[in-house]
Amino acid sequence: MINVIAVDDEPLALQLVTGYIEKTPGLTLLGNFENPLEAAGFLASSDVDLVFIDIQMPDFTGIEFTRSMLKGPKVIFTTAYEKYALEGFKLDVVDYLLKPFSYEEFLKAVHKAERLIKLERALPEKIEANSEFLFLKSDYKIKRINFDDIMYIEGLKEYVKVYTRDDPNPILSLASLKLLETKLPPEKFMRVHRSFIVNLQRIDTIARSRIIFGKVYIPVGDQYKDKFQEFLDKNFL
| Predicted confidence (pLDDT) per residue in 175-203, tens digit | 888 888 988 999 999 999 999 999 999 99
Nearest to 57 by CA among 76, 74, 80, 41: 80
Determine the Cα–Cα distance for residues 29 and 4; give it in Å rounded to an integer: 5
Tell me the pLDDT tens digit for each residue of 220-231: 999 999 999 999
- Is residue 76 a contact partner of residue 95, using CB atoms and an 8 Å limit? yes
* DSSP annotation of 187: T
Other CB atoms within 10 Å distance of the CB of residue 205: 10
Residue type, 149: D
Question: For residue 185, what are the contacts with CB-CB under 8 A and spacing of at least 6?
Answer: 131, 147
* pLDDT, averaged across the chain: 88
224 contacts 191 by C-beta, under 8 angstroms: yes
Amino acid occupying residue 174: L
Please measure the distance between the N-terminal and C-terminal CA atoms of the chain and give it in whole angstroms.
Answer: 61
**Antiparallel, parallel or unpaired: β 189-193 and 150-155:** unpaired
pLDDT at 43 over 90: no
Query: How remote is the C-alpha of 70 from its chain's centroid?
Result: 14
Q: Is the pLDDT of residue 62 over 90?
A: no
User: Is pLDDT at 161 greater than 90 in this prediction?
Assistant: yes
**Domains of the chain in sequence order:** 2-122 (3.40.50.2300), 133-234 (2.40.50.1020)
The confidence score (pLDDT) of residue 171 equals: 94
